[in-house]
Structure 1
Amino acid sequence: MRVTFTVNGRTETADDVWEGESLLYVLRERLGLPGSKNACEQGECGSCTVHLDGVPVCACLVAAGQAEGREVRTVEGLAGGGRLDEVQRAFVECGAVQCGFCTPGFVVQAHDLLARVERPTDAEIREALAGNLCRCTGYEKILDAVRLAAARRAERR
């Protein structure tokens, strides 16, 4: 089947997509967007999180055909004009990036949280990121990064 959808603001088409093919596979292997990571393939780790029509989803659990006519935003789509967005910058500055495998999912989830809640509490941050797993950082630096990004966004307003 042919699947046509918008990815990071551009219309993309994938041909010869088989029925069980995941959105994650199409993004990584057919469209050359390796940011979303393929870790568990069961929706347990959050490494493949993308926005589908503005809602965070595990791309490994979404059949590619379900994206037909819809809008997908990947971690690559958060940056603009050759610059990282404030969440991505905060992750780098706070040392929240270790091996980097889980980072795209955390960044997409944090981005979603900060779009909804201007100054999230630690409990809100933890709840928003609960579906994402990291084996390297111990999470504190990730929380620091979300706090920093939230503070910077609040200063701009």
Structure 2
Amino acid sequence: MMEINKFSNIRNGESIGFVLRILMNHLSQSLSHIFQKNGITSTEFLVLREVFENESISSCSIALHLKLNKGSISKILDQLAYKKLIKKEISSLDKRVQKIFLTEKAYKTLPELAALIQLKEKDIFAILTDSERNTLYSLVEKIVSAQNEHY
């Protein structure tokens, strides 16, 4: 019987998921310095961005949009409230629902963080032409959209 090398597809460049994971690790490491300097984690930043884009969003909606469980979101929101970056209010329509809002501190911090992240990403992707960056973005966005439809 022929022995199959389980990792040959990775070495031969056939595993795009593996390559994307390596890229994500590089991005995470590069951006983690920016987040650490500002006293937040990358996941906290994603939550803040979600609240910024959807003012008065519920914690359940944040969990759904970011594909995180409700327990994780609850802990992250508690940390962000402790850091005075969000405030929580009970919905007047449903007392079981918490609506999440950004604080003034968050409104001040987010644009600064976004600018730093943009600079870092521009540096990381400088090897690509504008056309290649646009193509990469479109393809990744297409895959993410397709996956979102399944889950």
TM-score between both structures, scaled by the size of structure 2: 0.33
Q: Which has the higher contact order (CA 8 A, sep 6+)?
A: 1
